[in-house]
Chains A and B, each alone.
Chain A
Amino acid sequence: MNATALEKFQAAFPDATCKVVLDSVVIDVQPDKLESTLAGLKNDPAFNCGLLLDVTGIDYKDYPKTTETRFYVVYTVRNWQDNLLVQVRTPVVDPEKGIPTATHLFDSALWGEREVWDQYGINFQNHPDLRRILNHYQFEGHPLRKDYDIRKGQVCIGNDSLEKEIRARLANNGVAESTMKDINTEIMFLNLGPSHPATHGAIRILTALDGETIMANINEIGYLHRGFEKTSENLTYNQIIPLTDRLNYCSSMMNNIAYVKAVESWLGIEITERAQFMRVVLSEFYRVLDHLVCIAANMVDMGGLTNYWYLYNEKETAYDFISRLTGARLTSSFTRIGGMYRDFYEGWESDLELQLRDIEKGIGDSIKLVLKNRIVHDRTKDVCVLSAEDALSYGFTGPTLRASGVPFDLRKDAPYYNYESFDFEIPVGSKGDIYDRIMIRFEEMFQSIRIIRQAMKFIPEGSVFIEDSQVVLPPKADVYNNIEGLANHFKLIFEGVKTPAGEWYDSFEAANGELGFHFVSDGSGRPYKLKVRPPCFYIMGGFHKMVEGNMIADAVINLGSINIIGGELDR
């Protein structure tokens, strides 16, 4: 980010203070200017930030440096064409009174702001549907506030009927009260979930049906909320890596890599070339695995069990292959700040090639079953279509956004780890229907395999760790044989890797889309605050847009096609 770009922002928003942090511009505004700033960023062609990535609150109660107010809210927006990342921060004087909502500008704020309300108790004026989202509706207090005790669990047994909300949604879709009463078009309410085979986890999908057609839909999530963010505040940076495994557990290592990349970018660490290549190889390999499971499960929903065996068996052998490297099948925890846990083992390259061939065969077999299959076509083409505008407005990223025709991929648009020098393509859909979403995943697997082969060809020799005693553990020989090594080891384990005080956001193209991490550091070895920007969360937020007007059976396969993973959705 250069100085002229910053001047452009300062000129456009004279009342705000703008500064550059890493790749993003951070704008500090007062609440009364928040709306106009966000609107300016979105509508001014010079900025054109149409993608609201995330909304989060910050509680500065225990922060060593005093701030203007205890609470802040941060909006992260992006101009995907020009790789412009902007964060707008605003102080919240009175959380009860709150700040104006951004829901009329970005639909993704609907769920984003609900989460801030749930976790921090910050009100958003004129938000159409401000209620809890991750925690139970009878939950008392706001867990991410610093004065909420992390162990204070609450037993809630109420059952939220969501009747008010679904009726409001019906009215919003133009289904009048009288229509509902009319015997010929009686509306039936149907719940899928929270525990239902079609939901692949615990999600509640409430629909209002006319016959089989969905007239209105609302969804409830949060059943797998495991307190990732609160737990992280009590752990050192390296201790958080195992927790990141369990975000999107189908592609655990991608989360590991995304997370350490975010920490390293703030520390200003450039990892070794070999480690960079390793991370490319492994994250592309996991992208393939993630898509394999997604498509396999989706096909089962459609009744094609054979596809499941073709695709899932490859994944199964891939797990054993990965456990040869990491020691674990699923939860790899393979990265460390400053490098990788260890280097590839001897013979990895040939094992990898065999595995890739097997995967290609599995995908090939499955594609043969799908490509000219009339049933698959009838069930997926022109079904649950989402336009590019809606997808952007709801904050979609990744394959689901690309299926709607938006060619945004961080690997191309904001490349890291030498992605710009690899030869690969970004498949883009033409319609935004389920067919596109499935086919994009198929194609991405082939592209990822291409990248892996290139990377394995050019991977340099060398260490997988940088040499920096402030970040990386010393070799075991030093720890056991001299006092400096021992002290160094001890300090790093107990105090963690110290990061300079400050706040930053960094993102990564994970299997489901942009996986971002927003950190606040107070200079210690543990993050003061850590917020994940999970791709799934915002995709689920736009689910009703896809299914309304379609049939109930289509909603089931649509859910499979957007690959909702509970760990990442609810954190």
Chain B
Amino acid sequence: MALGLEAKLGDNVMTSTLDYIVNWGRENSLWPFVYGTACCAIEFMSTAASLHDISRYGAEVVRFSPRQADLLLVCGTVSYKQAPILKRIYEQMPEPKWVIAIGACASSGGIYDNYCTVQGIDTIIPVDVYISGCPPRPEAILDGLMKIQNQIKGETVLEDRHKDFKGILD
């Protein structure tokens, strides 16, 4: 039963909050930028291929320009040599943007605890969802995507996220 304004305006109009509408749009059309560096990127390829088909979640428009993307998928090991590049790409993405660290390496350095491997990309850029596994199965990657979608539901368009983030490169 319609209440308030909707009752007055009849069947053709629905009211909602701005947050709800915008988030609904955002969560169902995420455009990922795949920052694939190593083995985990192969599992992303599987996620995108026919069987697991990431387009069921509205996230199949893979962009290779950070300026057109709003979801950064970091698949693979990030070395210190690569860290500035990752940071630059993150900065080039327009707000709002979300980041998923796919696999053990991106989350924590994984099995590489040594002089050249960054011990988790959250020392460089803010991360929203971490996916475990070395590499994670495609199902896990889809699960991570759904986690982001859920998170977006609860966000507000007015807030600037991660304003105060400081990483090792800042």
**A551 contacts the other chain (CB 8 A):** no
Instruction: Give how many A residues have a beta carbon under 8 Å from the other chain's beta carbons.
Output: 47
- For residue A36, give the distance in angstroms from its CB to the closest CB of chain B: 37
**A265 contacts the other chain (CB 8 A):** no
Q: Are A331 and B80 in contact (CB under 8 A)?
A: no
17 extra A-B contacts, CB within 8 A, seeds A223-B79, A245-B39, A330-B39? A136-B80, A151-B114, A153-B116, A155-B80, A155-B168, A194-B85, A201-B36, A201-B37, A224-B77, A224-B82, A225-B79, A243-B111, A249-B42, A313-B50, A319-B46, A566-B37, A567-B38
Within 8 A of A (CB), among B24-39: 35-39
Residues of B within 8 A of A136 (CB): 80-81
Choose one: A151, A317, A331; the contact of B113 (CB below 8 Å): A151
Within 8 A of B (CB), among A440-471: none
- For residue B168, which residue of chain A has the nearest CB? A155
**A489 contacts the other chain (CB 8 A):** no
Within 8 A of A (CB), among B107-126: 111-119
Choose one: B111, B115, B119, B134; the contact of A143 (CB below 8 Å): B115
State A311–B64 Cα separation when bound (angstroms). Answer: 23
**A227 contacts the other chain (CB 8 A):** yes
**A61 contacts the other chain (CB 8 A):** no
State the majority secondary structure of interface residues on B: loop
Please give me the 6 A-B residue pairs with the lowest Cβ-Cβ distance, nearest first: A249-B39, A227-B114, A197-B64, A136-B81, A223-B82, A226-B112
Residues of B within 8 A of A308 (CB): 49
Q: Are A201 and B41 in contact (CB under 8 A)?
A: yes
State A222–B77 Cα separation when bound (angstroms). Answer: 12
Residues of B within 8 A of A230 (CB): 114-115
**Interface CB pairs A-B, < 8 A, 28:** A148-B115, A150-B114, A151-B115, A152-B115, A153-B80, A153-B116, A153-B117, A155-B168, A196-B64, A197-B64, A202-B82, A223-B79, A224-B38, A224-B79, A224-B82, A225-B116, A227-B115, A227-B116, A230-B115, A231-B112, A245-B39, A249-B39, A293-B42, A312-B46, A316-B50, A329-B43, A330-B42, A330-B43
- For residue A155, which residue of chain B has the nearest CB? B168
Q: Are B42 and A226 in contact (CB under 8 A)?
A: no
Q: Are B116 and A226 in contact (CB under 8 A)?
A: yes
Residues of B that sit less than 8 Å from A by CB: 35-39, 41-43, 45-46, 49-51, 64, 76-77, 79-85, 89, 111-119, 134-135, 137, 168-169
Residues of A that sit less than 8 Å from B by CB: 135-136, 143, 148-157, 159, 194-197, 201-202, 222-227, 230-231, 242-243, 245-246, 249-250, 293, 308-309, 312-313, 316-317, 319, 329-331, 566-567
- For residue A317, which residue of chain B has the nearest CB? B51
Choose one: B38, B51, B82; the contact of A313 (CB below 8 Å): B51
- For residue B77, which residue of chain A has the nearest CB? A226
- For residue A409, give the distance in angstroms from its CB to the closest CB of chain B: 26
Residues of B within 8 A of A246 (CB): 38-39, 111
Q: Are A149 and B111 in contact (CB under 8 A)?
A: no
State A48–B133 Cα separation when bound (angstroms). Answer: 48
- For residue A436, give the distance in angstroms from its CB to the closest CB of chain B: 26
